[in-house]
Amino acid sequence: MLDDMGDDLGGGRRGFLKCMAWAGTGALFAFEGGIGSSIGLDAALAAPAKHMVTQPFTFAQISDSHIGFNKPPNADARATFREAIAKVKALPHRPDFVIHTGDVSQLSRDEEFDDAEQMLKELGLPVFFVPGEHDMLDPDGGKAFLSRFGKGSQGAGWYSFDHRGVHFVALVNVADLKPGGMGNLGAAQLKWLKSDLAARPSSQPIVVFAHIPLWTVYADWGWGTDDSAEALKLLARFGSVTVLNGHIHQITQKVEGRVAFHTARSTAFPQPAPGTAPSPGPLKVPPEKLHGMLGITDALFVRGHDRIALIDSTLIA
Amino acid sequence: MTPESKTLAFQATALAGGALLLSTVSVMTRAAPAPAAASVEIANFTFKAPVVTVKPGTTITWTNADDIPHTVTSSAGLFKSKVLDSGEKFSFTFAKSGQFGYFCSLHPHMTGSVIVKA
C-alpha cells in the first residue's frame, strides 16, 4: 500500500486523491498556487535548493517532544521521540524537511536539547524549529534554545524562508508572556511580519508555524494567542494560508476563509480535550493506549493541483 | 569583713546578676514570635490560594504539586523563581506592605496575589 501511494503521488491528481482516501484522517484544503520569490536566512540555506515547482513535495511536522519528561503516562519521552523519528523516516515519500513546533525539551536543560538534536540528526534532513514555553526556561530566558536551534533567526527566534514557491513563516508566541494572558507575538514581531509579507504576491501559498495555537482553542487553559488577530489580518489577502501549531498535544483543525488551522499531536504525552479535565496536565492514559495518542503530521503540497494535505498518523505501527 | 572578702562578695553578686540578666534575655528570645510563614500549593495549573493576606516579614513558600513545571513570577519584577519541577519549592519574604500580583511565566493564565498589611 505504501508503494502504491508512492507511485500515486508522482502520478497525478487521481492517484493523490486515492492516497488521501487511504490516509483517511487527513484534511484536504484547496489553495490557489503561486510563484515565490527568494528571501532567506541562515536556516533556510540549510534547506534543499529552491527551484521552480514542477514536482510535488512534502514536509513533516513533529511537535512537543518534551525530551526529559518521565512521568505518567510516559516514563521515557526520549523513546517515543525516537519512534516518531523512525515514523518520519518510514514515510512513503522522503520529506524535503521537518518542522518542530516547539517544546523540544521539558526543562530547557542542555542534555535535553542535546539528545533531541542528536536524535534528529538520524533523519538526515533539515529541521526548522520554533521554541515552546518549555524551551525558554534556562536562566537567560531562551538563549540556550536559540543558540542551538535558532541560528540566523531574529528577536525571540522568528524567521521565514521559501521552499519551492511556498513561503514559510516561523513565529514565536512563548516569549515575554503577560500575567493573565495567553500566547503573545508582540509588537516587534508583528512589525517584522508585516515587512516580511509586504512584497509577496497574494497568490503565494503561505505556511505559518508557531508553538501555541494562533486561534483561541480554549481561553480558560490559555490555549490561544492574544494578538494573533493582528497576524491573521496581515495574512488575510493571501489565497492560501496554512497555520501549523502544537502545544495542546492533540489534533484540532479549523478552516476560516482561506486560512486552515491545524494542531499536531505530541510525541511525548496527550493532553485532555478542552474543558474535559480539571487542568490541561498530562492525560494519564494506560500504557496500551499511549502510542495511539502520540504522532506526527505529514504535509503534502501538490503544486499544479491546488491542494495541500495534512495527514496525521500515530506512533502505532 | 576584710576588704578582700568584700570584693569577693561583690563579684559573687555581680556574677549572679549577670546570670539572671542572661537568663532574662534567653526567656525574652524564646518568647518572641517565630518568623511568620505561609504556603501556597500549585496544583491543576492553579495557585490554590489565589489571594493570600499576610503580615510584613512573612515568608511565603510555593510548592509545585503538578506533573508540569511552573514558575512564580512577580508581575512587577519583584521576584522570580527558577523553573519549579514537580515537588520543587520557592520562597520569598514580603518585608513591606502592599499588594503583589504574580503569575506563572509558562502558563500566564495562572495568576495569584499576595496582600501584605500590618
* Distance of alpha carbon A24 from the chain centroid: 20
**What's the sign of the alpha-carbon dihedral A136, A140, A145, A149?**
positive
Average pLDDT over residues A163-181: 96
Q: Which residue of B has its CA nearest to A221?
A: B109
**Nearest 10 degrees: Cα torsion A302, A305, A310, A314:** -70
Whether residue A78 lies inside any domain: the answer is: yes
Average pLDDT over residues A137-155: 96
> For A279, which of B45, B69, B108 is closest by C-beta distance?
B45
Q: Which residue of A has its CA nearest to B43?
A: A279
Structurally, chain A folds into a number of domains equal to 1
Grid coordinates representing B62 are 510555593
Whether residue A20 lies inside any domain: the answer is: no
pLDDT score recorded for residue A39? 26
Residue with cell 572578702: B5
pLDDT score recorded for residue A308? 79
**Nearest 10 degrees: Cα torsion A95, A246, A25, A50:** -30
> For B85, which of A107, A219, A222 is closest by C-beta distance?
A107
CA distances from A131 to A128, A153, B59, B105, B114 (A): 10, 12, 34, 14, 31
Q: What is the pLDDT of residues A26-42, one digit of tens each?
A: 322 222 232 222 222 33
Whether residue A70 lies inside any domain: the answer is: yes
Whether residue A16 lies inside any domain: the answer is: no
> For B83, which of A72, A107, A181 is closest by C-beta distance?
A107
Judging contacts by C-beta atoms under 8 Å, the chain A residues touching residue B69 are: 106-107, 134, 137
Residue with cell 494519564: A284
Contact residues, A window 207-226, toward B, CB-based 8 Å cutoff: 219-222
Q: What is the pLDDT of residues B5-48, one digit of tens each?
A: 555 454 545 444 444 444 444 444 555 566 799 999 999 999 99
> For A179, which of B67, B68, B111 is closest by C-beta distance?
B111
Instruction: Specify the CATH number for the domain of residue A273.
Output: 3.60.21.10
Give dist(CA B14, CA A89) in Å, integer: 90
Q: What is the pLDDT of residues A3-13, one digit of tens each?
A: 333 333 333 33
The parent domain of residue A60 ranges over 27-314
Determine contact: A137 vs chain B, CB below 8 A.
yes
Are A82 and A116 spatial neighbours (Cβ–Cβ below 8 Å)? no
DSSP strands (E only) in B1-118: 37-43, 46-47, 51-54, 58-64, 73-74, 89-94, 98-103, 111-116
Whether residue A260 lies inside any domain: the answer is: yes
Are A59 and A93 spatial neighbours (Cβ–Cβ below 8 Å)? no
pLDDT at A77 over 70: yes
Whether residue A194 lies inside any domain: the answer is: yes
Contact B67 A177 (CB under 8 A): no
pLDDT score recorded for residue A307? 56
pLDDT at B56 over 80: yes
Q: What share of chain B is helix, strand, coil (3-state, %, to 5)?
A: 25, 35, 40
Over chain A, what is the mean pLDDT?
85
Average pLDDT over residues A113-128: 98
Whether residue A150 lies inside any domain: the answer is: yes
Q: What is the pLDDT of residues A278-314, one digit of tens each?
A: 999 999 999 999 999 999 999 998 765 555 789 999 9
Give dist(CA A134, CA A260) in Å, integer: 26
Residues of chain B contacting A, Cβ within 8 Å:
43-46, 66-69, 75, 82-83, 85-86, 101-103, 105-109, 111
pLDDT score recorded for residue A317? 61
Give dist(CA A182, CA B104) in Å, integer: 11
Report residue A173: phi and psi, to 5°: -125, 30
Contact B67 A282 (CB under 8 A): yes
Determine contact: A181 vs chain B, CB below 8 A.
yes
Strand, helix or coil for residue A289: helix
Contacts of B29 (CB under 8 A, 6+ apart): none
Least Cα separation, residue B110 to chain A (angstroms): 7
pLDDT score recorded for residue A24? 28
Whether residue A95 lies inside any domain: the answer is: yes
Contact A279 B44 (CB under 8 A): yes
